Amino acid sequence: MNSNFNCGCKESCSCNCCTPLKFKARDVCQIPQGNPCIPGPPAPQEIKCFVDTHELSNKRMILSPSATEPIFEDTTCNHNKTLLVLSSIQANIAESQPISFTIRLRGSEIPLIVVVSADNTRLVQVEDFKSLVASNLSEDNNAELEITIQKTFCICCDTDCADAEKYSSFSRLQQKGESFIATHTFDEIVRVPPIDAGGATEIVFEDFTKNHNKTLLVLKNSDFRGVSITIQTSTCNTPITADIPRGGLRIFQVENFKSLSLTNPINFASAVLTITGEKTFCINCNSEDNIQKCESCCKE
């Protein structure tokens, strides 16, 4: 009989020459003397997919006359369905103004343009949402917008340890076994103190975990001046950077979030940023590495 069995994360061997041996979290192939192993086809990857939803409610921003500002950017790659509630309001200004919203979708070169008249609301549900930009159609007056978004997305967790390198610098750690997802939420105010010459930069949110994640970041600048932010992910060497003006709002959804840094551009006061968001991540409960950690913890 010459059928194949999986004897490792990256290869298979034939039954007529190999005996599987369990070694930690992976199988290895024992080759009898004088009988070389005949390579079989690669073992199939085991990928489990789930869905989850990120929500943000009643986020407001003031636009200067004729200003155009990016509001939400999605840099993840999985399929999504997104409900956007777009409003022109007058909570903090004298009179509401018409606002134009530009919605871009992944796979389409033609954006959706939604014009919301003064003191009005439009609802839009789209597939494979990518970005949202708002423009104040008034040349003379400030406009105030309010958005509510529900974004339901796929998230797929690789349980084959060979794929850990794609998502983490901790690629030596095995990740096999049952995968689950969970979501952490946060709503915090962070500050970066000034330095003598200005331009101080500090990491205000850092992720030291090793599993795949999708993270929604809602960044609100309530300070009296603009600030700069930098987002690093574990799968891309090029950071995401943005300048957030006074009273500005920027929203990002990223894949494999690693860190968020805030830059204080002046030397006489702290920079202040409100960070709200959700972080959905894979968690592997049955990996050999996690089991060993649990066993050692129980013995202490």
Predicted confidence at residue 138, as pLDDT, reads: 96
Does 193 share its domain with 274?
yes
Instruction: Give the model's confidence band at 270: pLDDT under 50 very low, under 70 low, under 90 confident, else very high.
Output: confident
Using the predicted structure, report yes or no on whether residue 16 has a pLDDT greater than 50: no
Identify whether 268 is part of a domain.
yes
Residue, of 243 and 266, whose pLDDT is higher: 243
Using the predicted structure, report yes or no on whether residue 289 has a pLDDT greater than 80: no
Strand partners for 90:
none
DSSP letters spanning 200-228: EEEEEEE----S-EEEEEEEE--SSS-EE
Does 113 share its domain with 254?
yes
Does 126 share its domain with 19?
no
Which amino acid, residue 258?
Answer: K
Q: How far apart are CA 253 and CA 53, in angstroms?
A: 12
Predicted confidence at residue 23, as pLDDT, reads: 37
Does 78 share its domain with 14?
no
Q: Which of 51-55, 133-137, 257-261 has the highest mean pLDDT?
A: 133-137
Instruction: Give the model's confidence band at 197: pLDDT under 50 very low, under 70 low, under 90 confident, else very high.
Output: low
Instruction: Give the model's confidence band at 249: pLDDT under 50 very low, under 70 low, under 90 confident, else very high.
Output: very high
Identify whether 202 is part of a domain.
yes
Percentage of residues in the chain having pLDDT higher than 90: 46
CA-to-CA dists, residue 69 to 61, 62, 117, 229, 239, angstroms? 10, 10, 18, 15, 20
Does 35 share its domain with 65?
no
Does 157 share its domain with 13?
no
Does 19 share its domain with 72?
no
Residue, of 35 and 61, whose pLDDT is higher: 61
Identify whether 209 is part of a domain.
yes
What total number of domains does the chain contain? 2
Using the predicted structure, report yes or no on whether residue 74 has a pLDDT greater than 50: yes
Q: How far apart are CA 114 and CA 103, in angstroms?
A: 8
Identify whether 213 is part of a domain.
yes
Using the predicted structure, report yes or no on whether residue 89 has a pLDDT greater than 90: yes
* Mean pLDDT, range 199-204, rounded to an integer: 82
Predicted confidence at residue 258, as pLDDT, reads: 92
- Classified as helix, coil or strand, 92 is coil
Q: How far apart are CA 17 and CA 2, in angstroms?
A: 9
* Mean pLDDT, range 233-238, rounded to an integer: 91
Residue, of 99 and 17, whose pLDDT is higher: 99
- Closest by CA to 253, choosing from 59, 54, 51, is 54
Does 40 share its domain with 54?
no
Residue, of 293 and 209, whose pLDDT is higher: 209
- Closest by CA to 207, choosing from 231, 190, 228, 223, is 231
Q: What is the rounded end-to-end Cα distance, in angstroms, of the chain?
A: 49
What's the chain's Rg over C-alpha atoms?
25
Using the predicted structure, report yes or no on whether residue 268 has a pLDDT greater than 50: yes
Residue position matching structure tokens 């950690």: 293
Using the predicted structure, report yes or no on whether residue 112 has a pLDDT greater than 50: yes
Using the predicted structure, report yes or no on whether residue 293 has a pLDDT greater than 60: no
Does 229 share its domain with 256?
yes
DSSP 193: -
Predicted confidence at residue 38, as pLDDT, reads: 54
Does 178 share its domain with 207?
yes
Q: Are strands 143-158 and 80-89 parallel, antiparallel or unpaired?
A: antiparallel
Tell me what the pLDDT averaged over the chain comes to.
Answer: 78
DSSP 45: P
Using the predicted structure, report yes or no on whether residue 35 has a pLDDT greater than 60: no
Identify whether 295 is part of a domain.
no
Give the CA-trace dihedral at 135, 138, 139, 144, to 10 degrees: -70
Instruction: Give the model's confidence band at 43: pLDDT under 50 very low, under 70 low, under 90 confident, else very high.
Output: low
Residue 3 neighbours by CB under 8 Å, 6+ apart: 14, 15
Residue, of 213 and 91, whose pLDDT is higher: 213
Does 98 share its domain with 37?
no
CB 5 within 8 A of CB 16: no
Q: What is the model's pTM?
A: 0.66
Using the predicted structure, report yes or no on whether residue 253 has a pLDDT greater than 90: yes
Identify whether 290 is part of a domain.
no
Tokens matching residue 87: 């409003």
- Classified as helix, coil or strand, 289 is helix
Does 231 share its domain with 136?
yes
Using the predicted structure, report yes or no on whether residue 41 has a pLDDT greater than 70: no
For 131-183, the pLDDT digits (tens) are 999 999 999 999 999 999 999 999 888 654 334 444 444 333 333 456 788 89
Domain that holds residue 235: 48-284
* Mean pLDDT, range 53-62, rounded to an integer: 93
